[in-house]
A = this chain, B = another copy of it.
């Protein structure tokens, strides 16, 4: 919250109730919502907000490095409050998306750099399977 205000100011962007609201939804929901899910979460308490504003806020946050955009093979993008690169685990039954905060995966980039002689700047790892809860059924 303090972070949001600091970063917005740093980027000479205005602090608006809409931006705060969108950011708070991401902060409170670790289910990696897409733009529409965020919009729906906001609807009850913020009935006048526009979906375009949600998209524009998310785009801005991503540019400012506040959040990250992820892509788990669905037809829409999802947004992650944690901007730091980390793997995601997707349950193919209940469709939940979990974070895997493990630094060791970051080393893969250097392996790729050696193999392909690229200068790697970002990595996106996604594992699909059945979660413990769904296995028991």
Chain A residues with CB under 8 Å of chain B are 69, 71-73, 87, 89, 91-92, 98, 100, 102, 105, 108-109, 112-113, 115-132, 135
Contacts and interface: CB of A to CB of B under 8 A. Distances in A.
A87 B71 contact: no
Contacts of A105: 108
Contacts of A124: 73, 125-128
How many copies of the shown chain assemble into the complex?
2
B69 A71 contact: no
A128 B73 CA distance: 17
A108 B119 CA distance: 22
21 contacts: A69-B73, A71-B71, A89-B112, A89-B116, A89-B118, A89-B120, A92-B122, A100-B112, A105-B108, A108-B108, A108-B125, A109-B129, A118-B127, A118-B130, A118-B132, A119-B129, A120-B127, A120-B128, A121-B128, A123-B125, A124-B127
